[in-house]
């Protein structure tokens, strides 16, 4: 068990150090998320339109921009593995494949978390959303959604990175599988942005946690077949 976690942490450390030195993924992710957040304002009118529907639109805009941005981040982190023959190294190493997978998930989730922090702050400013009042709830929602996105995204990007079309296939594989997370995250975020309470978001958070567990377990089991050569 200790070995498992030391492998996991080694992968996280490697990925984050690489990111710290190159700053290749995070910067692009954040800028891209900001861009999408801004573009949606032009598409739906300033602040995501007016009226009672505005909160729902804002929650949707926020999560769609996060999903789009994380496609970029995922392609980067798996692209690096492909270019530096990281996959072969992982396969050759005696480390447990599920520890390698979970390490990747954690490092992707950390990058996404930072991006989401900025995204929520921008939402508060550009869309006049009351983010701070229910910051705790939103953090919990973001954490459970991010885990799901990272879990599915890591698995699918490990596959798509090694297809002929490279990263192009990632959204096609990933987005349909992420529908439950998107629905739940948007609904829960909408509830808290609109001043609603836990009663409206509790079930959605539970749904995301179920998704996280199902995906993390299933993907940990099958990840060794992805690494195989």
**Helices then strands, each counted (H, E), the chain:** 9, 0
Check residue 118 for interaction with other proteins (CB under 8 A): no
Binding mask 184-213 for other proteins (x = CB under 8 A): x--x---------------xx--x--xx--
* Sign of the torsion formed by the C-alpha atoms of 223, 2, 211 and 172: negative
Q: Measuring CA to CA, which residue among 145, 202, 152 is closest to residue 172?
A: 152
Residue closest to 101 by CA, chosen among 2, 229, 227: 227
Does 164 engage in binding with other proteins (CB under 8 A)?
A: yes
Stretch that binds other proteins, among 44-52, 118-126, 133-141, 160-168 (CB under 8 A): 160-168
Is residue 215 within 8 Å of residue 151, measured between CB atoms? yes
The closest of 46, 68, 70, 223 to 150, measured between CA atoms, is 70
Place of tokens 């995922």: 74
Smaller CB separation from other proteins, 40 or 156: 156
Q: Which stretch binds other proteins (CB under 8 A): 44-52, 77-85, 105-113, 163-171?
A: 163-171
- By beta-carbon proximity to other proteins, the closer residue of 22 and 163 is 163
**Which residue number, 43 or 218, has a Cβ lying nearer to other proteins?**
218
Q: Which pair of tokens denotes residue 58?
A: 């804002």
Tell me how far apart the alpha carbons of residues 24 and 88 are, in angstroms, rounded to a whole number. Answer: 22
Q: Which tokens go with 217? A: 């377990």
> Would you count residue 159 as binding other proteins (CB under 8 A)?
yes
Smaller CB distance to other proteins: residue 34 or 198? 198
Residues 128-157 that bind other proteins (CB under 8 A): 155
Q: Which residues bind other proteins (CB under 8 A)?
A: 155, 159-160, 162-165, 169, 172-173, 175-177, 179-180, 183-184, 187, 203-204, 207, 210-211, 214-215, 218-219, 222, 225-226, 228-229
């Amino acid at each position: 068990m200790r070995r498992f976690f030391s492998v996991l942490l080694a992968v996280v450390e490697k990925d984050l150090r690489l990111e710290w030195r190159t700053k290749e993924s995070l910067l692009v992710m954040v800028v891209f998320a900001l861009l999408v957040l801004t573009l949606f304002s032009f598409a739906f009118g300033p602040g995501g339109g007016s009226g009672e529907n505005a909160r729902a639109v804002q929650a949707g805009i926020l999560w769609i921009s996060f999903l789009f941005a994380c496609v970029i981040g995922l392609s980067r982190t798996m692209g690096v593995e492909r270019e530096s023959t990281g996959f072969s190294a992982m396969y050759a190493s005696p480390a447990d494949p599920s520890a390698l997978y979970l390490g990747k998930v954690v490092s992707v989730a950390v990058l996404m978390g930072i991006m989401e922090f900025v995204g929520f702050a921008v939402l508060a400013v550009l869309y006049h959303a009351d983010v701070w009042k229910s910051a705790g709830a939103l953090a919990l929602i973001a954490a459970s959604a991010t885990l799901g996105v990272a879990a599915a995204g890591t698995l699918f990007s490990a596959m798509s990175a090694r297809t002929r079309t490279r990263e192009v296939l990632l959204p096609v594989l990933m987005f349909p599988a992420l529908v439950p997370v998107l629905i739940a995250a948007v609904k829960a975020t909408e509830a808290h942005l609109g001043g609603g309470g836990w009663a409206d978001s509790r079930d959605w958070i539970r749904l995301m946690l179920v998704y996280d567990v199902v995906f993390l377990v299933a993907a940990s089991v099958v990840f060794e077949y992805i690494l195989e050569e």
